[in-house]
């Protein structure tokens, strides 16, 4: 069964979800069916320390201006920032309301991200999608699945697209090769599709030769290139659109290479936070512009691998 190019019309989406996703894919950002999202929930997840390297970024207006001038598809906010900073940018920068979160203070052994906001909050704020962090394989996956099911159903009723931050986490995945293994990320992509996410955000997989013996046997002998791994992950996510996460900041060269490979592998887009707003404003605009160009210049042969073109 050959890979098929899906269009938004071919995805079996309810009208509300299609309307909102269509805005994100074709009216903002690269506007060619791909996404470039600016997330700013690190203030909750890591505390203000992430802003030290670029003090201006502490004020959420920095990210809003960056999203506006850098022509991002949307900004991802926790409820507090959305309520207090978005009004001036309403209609100009689409909102992805992140519904759950936690601090970094307790360890991740039994990671669980509690919902403190709701789909109804997202509707009230005019959001075009909600974000939900699922800690794949955590000892608390039971609470996570039940909570996600409630979010999914509420989103279903509201016609609100659901983006899952699918993060392998917890002491058991550490025993099976770690959170960033290809096994872990590949599983996360499939899980997002099985549970009904419309879009999934995953990290770049990493091979750690020292942990290879811990991988499940089907993954133990695999020797794939980064592009091959990403192609497989996109395939595992299936009709759930795939966004690549940025993680901690790295060099421009490494970043653009990651973007290039991911585009070749057929991802729908990127959700880069610290790699954007840990730069000075002008630098961040430049990087965002470069990535937008890379997204828009995708060659037809590569584009055919994309879920949406």
Interacting residues with a copy of itself between 242 and 301 (CB under 8 A): none
Looking only at Cα atoms, what is the longest distance across the chain? 53
Does residue number 133 form part of the binding site for a copy of itself (CB under 8 A)?
Answer: no
Does residue number 196 form part of the binding site for a copy of itself (CB under 8 A)?
Answer: yes
How many Cβ atoms sit within 10 Å of the Cβ of residue 250? 13
Stretch touching a copy of itself by CB under 8 A, among 23-31, 76-84, 266-274, 296-304: 76-84
Stretch touching a copy of itself by CB under 8 A, among 118-126, 249-257, 261-269, 283-291: 118-126
- Residues with active-site annotation: 167, 201
Residues within window 158-187 making contact with a copy of itself, judged by CB under 8 A? 168, 170, 172-173, 176, 183, 186-187
Exactly one of 146, 209, 213, 251 binds a copy of itself (CB under 8 A); that residue is: 146
Of 193 and 203, which has the nearer Cβ to a copy of itself?
193
Exactly one of 132, 167, 219, 277 binds a copy of itself (CB under 8 A); that residue is: 219
Exactly one of 19, 27, 126, 145 binds a copy of itself (CB under 8 A); that residue is: 145
Of 277 and 292, which has the nearer Cβ to a copy of itself?
277
Of 238 and 247, which has the nearer Cβ to a copy of itself?
238
Q: Do you know the residue count of the chain?
A: 309
Minimum Å gap between C-beta 144 and a copy of itself is 8
């Amino acid at each position: 069964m050959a890979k098929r190019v899906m269009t938004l019309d071919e995805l079996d989406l309810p009208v509300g979800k299609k309307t909102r996703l269509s805005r994100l894919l074709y009216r903002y950002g690269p506007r060619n069916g791909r996404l470039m999202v600016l997330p700013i929930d690190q203030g909750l997840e890591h505390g203000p320390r992430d802003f030290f390297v670029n003090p201006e970024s502490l004020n959420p207006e920095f990210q809003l201006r960056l999203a506006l001038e850098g022509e991002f598809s949307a900004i991802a906010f926790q409820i507090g920032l959305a309520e207090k900073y978005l009004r001036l940018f309403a209609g100009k920068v689409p909102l992805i309301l992140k519904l759950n979160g936690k601090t970094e203070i307790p360890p991740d052994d039994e990671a669980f991200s509690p919902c403190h906001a709701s789909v109804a909050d997202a509707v009230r704020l005019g959001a075009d999608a909600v974000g939900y962090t699922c800690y794949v394989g955590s000892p608390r996956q039971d609470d996570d699945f039940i909570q996600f099911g409630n979010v999914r159903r509420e989103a279903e009723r509201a016609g609100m697209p659901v983006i899952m931050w699918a993060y392998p986490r917890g002491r058991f995945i550490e025993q099976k090769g770690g959170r960033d293994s290809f096994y872990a990320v590949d599983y996360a992509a499939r899980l997002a599709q099985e549970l009904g996410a419309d879009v999934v955000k995953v990290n770049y997989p990493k091979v750690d030769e020292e942990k290879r013996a811990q991988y499940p046997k089907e993954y133990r002998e695999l020797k794939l290139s980064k592009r091959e791994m990403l192609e497989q992950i996109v395939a595992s996510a299936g009709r759930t659109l795939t966004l690549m996460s940025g993680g901690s900041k790295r060099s421009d060269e490494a970043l653009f290479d990651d973007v290039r490979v991911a585009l070749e592998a057929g991802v729908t887009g990127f959700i880069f936070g610290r790699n954007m707003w840990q730069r000075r404003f002008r630098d961040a605009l430049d990087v965002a512009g470069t990535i937008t160009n890379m997204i828009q210049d995708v060659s037809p042969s590569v584009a055919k691998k994309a879920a949406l073109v």
